[in-house]
Chains A and B, each alone.
Chain A
Amino acid sequence: MILPVVSVNLPVDEQMRVCKRRLMPEGASGRLPRISIVTGTHGDELEGQYVCYELARRIEAQPRLLTGIVDIYPALNPLGVDSITRGVPGFDLDMNRIFPGSEDGAMAEYAAAHITQDILGSDVCIDVHASNIFLREIPQVRVSETTAKTLVPLARELNCDFIWVHASATVLESTLAHTLNMRGVPTLVVEMGVGMRITREYGDQLLAGIFRLMHRLGIWAGEAPQVRTPIVSTDGKVAFLNAPTLGMFVPRVMHWEDVHAGEVIGDILNPLTGEGTEIASPCDGVLFTLREYPLVYEGSLLARVLAREEVRA
């Protein structure tokens, strides 16, 4: 069933509505375990759309195996998704910086408050992001070090290649994931793919992990899919490659590929002057982030490399 989560009237004959789809066993009663899958906080991130669709389709293909509640929120920022706008249209506001929102707030804060309330009570929440239009990411779970003890064991189930345990930052306290984690809903942030695109392969990979996690939570009675063993790493093992100059970045390597220290991973080309700058990896490792959008300024992120010793661990 499709249920309303929050709605706000827009100026001219339209409502902004956040809806969710609830899947649950027919005739069930009593307290059931519940998982929430949310996506579309940033309107230009579409990878989660396929996951939402396909998760429901696979469950409905075998409804008798469903033993708990699955709540699917495909668009927390529906105006953004529908207009290819990363933030909340009209405000240029990053929706993932206003949680937990406010009951007395304007549209976005009010919506954030109701979304938070609606998800509370879930046993686990998975917040699916898709990088942005500039970078391509391999499927990974990002966990702050303050929540790592609780979340890393759950993240291992998600069939992602990589779990990045990052430092806490005050500014991230206004994210949906932080809000839910602080209120007792273990929330895993998945980053995969690239903005404005859907990568079926990544979606299928994550779906296997979601079914495994649902199995562990007692929501899915079907077989638990086998999942890959992720690399778990911290900030210190991740090398950032930022553009030393401007131009068009053209990669020479593939994403999620082993690279060696000094190996040229791409070139920054200046089509006007004919200048070219080779970009080399600073270490042995694996390339888990690769620039997708060619135009770069000095400082633009080109790639992230997970250092070799961590890959072997």
Chain B
Amino acid sequence: MKKDVLFSLKSLYRDDLRVTGYRFGSGEPAACIVGALRGNEIHQMAVAAQIVHALRGIEAQGGLVPGKEILVIPSVNHFSMNIGKRFWSLDNTDINRMFPGYDQGETTQRIAAKLFEVVKNYRLGMQFASFYMPGDFLPHVKMMDLGYQEPSLGCAFGLPYVLLRNPRPYDTTTLNYNWQVWETQAFSVYITGTEEIDERSTRESVEAVLRFLSAQGVIRENAWGPGEHSRIVTESELVSVPAPAAGLYRRFYHPGDRVREGQALCEIVHPLEGNVLARVTSPVDGRVFFAHHSPLVKERGVVYKIITGA
């Protein structure tokens, strides 16, 4: 393993921001793994850190395939993480809305440019992503549907689902989108939890990435089995279930649970009087893909996403 400060940024009264990369093997830039791009992506950083830890062991046992290089960058925006902010500490801009970056531009454009310069030539790119709404996902791999990606590759993670997303205008400045434009096979890996660490999900996510690296001939070892048989789904197969009322939220089902049409998924409780305002039922037979987890819910907030017929 070779540990490098890939780039750094000075601050007036704080320590430097040092973005550290961990390289395993040498040769073809085969795979790059990026953890936290945002300050609240603590679990995403933790998973990437465990991948560093696992790859050290694999390297020590001669498990790397010669001629292939793996780069892991566990965290980019720990400047914000250290002070409890999600976006950039000064101007609140999102590094993951700045790609491919601009080296003469604003601070976060420069950070994105420096990062992209380092990661853009890898054949495979993985980023641990987070969602803007409070909730838990069934671990899955998301790929932007740009017409030239290979969805079947995503199945090699052995996670239950590979989700294809039609990019929207605001997606065009994300790392995932730009990786694909630069002909990297890019995957956003969604894990359970963002600000809290779910040990089981951490373990499963690390195994999924190592399984994928093995299937792609980047590491030799595959001690993790084939994983689950992945199903490729599009966003149109996800049914969003909105909250019909606002209030306190009582969740009955978790990501991965199977539900039947008409089954009660959750209750919305009057926040001041305690009575049940609404009982939300599943509109379809399927499997819970996303479940809201904050104790409060707004009217129309998405409380569940269900994969039909799963």
Residues of A within 8 A of B (CB): 8-13, 16, 86-87, 90-93, 97-98, 104-107, 110, 132, 134, 170-174, 240, 242, 245-248, 270, 272, 295, 297-301
The reply to whether A9 and B169 contact each other, CB–CB distance below 8 Å, is no
The reply to whether B11 and A246 contact each other, CB–CB distance below 8 Å, is yes
Q: List 13 A-B contacts (CB under 8 A).
A: A10-B246, A11-B246, A90-B298, A97-B170, A104-B240, A107-B299, A107-B300, A110-B300, A132-B91, A171-B170, A240-B105, A246-B10, A246-B11
In the A-B complex, list the 10 residue pairs whose CB atoms are closest, starting with the nearest: A9-B299, A9-B246, A11-B296, A299-B107, A173-B169, A299-B110, A174-B169, A297-B107, A12-B271, A170-B172
- Complex CA gap A254/B179 in Å reads 42
The residue of chain A having its C-beta at the shortest distance from the C-beta of B168 within the complex is A174
- Complex CA gap A10/B272 in Å reads 13
Residues of B within 8 A of A (CB): 9-13, 86-87, 90-92, 97, 104-110, 132-133, 168-170, 172-173, 240, 242, 245-248, 271-272, 296-302
- Complex CA gap A247/B10 in Å reads 10
The reply to whether B169 and A107 contact each other, CB–CB distance below 8 Å, is no
Q: Which of A107, A173, A300 has the most CB of B within 10 A?
A: A107
| Dominant secondary structure at the B interface | loop
Q: Which B residues lie within 8 Å of A170 (CB)?
A: 169, 172
The reply to whether A240 and B298 contact each other, CB–CB distance below 8 Å, is no
The reply to whether B107 and A298 contact each other, CB–CB distance below 8 Å, is yes
Closest beta carbon of chain A to B111's beta carbon, Å: 8
The reply to whether A106 and B302 contact each other, CB–CB distance below 8 Å, is yes
Q: Which B residues lie within 8 Å of A97 (CB)?
A: 169-170
Q: Which of A173, A299, A301 has the most CB of B within 10 A?
A: A299
Q: Which A residues lie within 8 Å of B105 (CB)?
A: 240, 242, 299
Which one of A92, A171, A301 contacts B172 once the chains associate, using CB atoms below 8 Å? Answer: A171
- Complex CA gap A134/B168 in Å reads 28
- Complex CA gap A272/B271 in Å reads 51
The reply to whether B106 and A295 contact each other, CB–CB distance below 8 Å, is no
The reply to whether B299 and A12 contact each other, CB–CB distance below 8 Å, is no
Closest beta carbon of chain B to A238's beta carbon, Å: 13
- Complex CA gap A132/B271 in Å reads 36
Q: Which A residues lie within 8 Å of B11 (CB)?
A: 246, 297
Closest beta carbon of chain B to A204's beta carbon, Å: 29
The residue of chain A having its C-beta at the shortest distance from the C-beta of B301 within the complex is A106
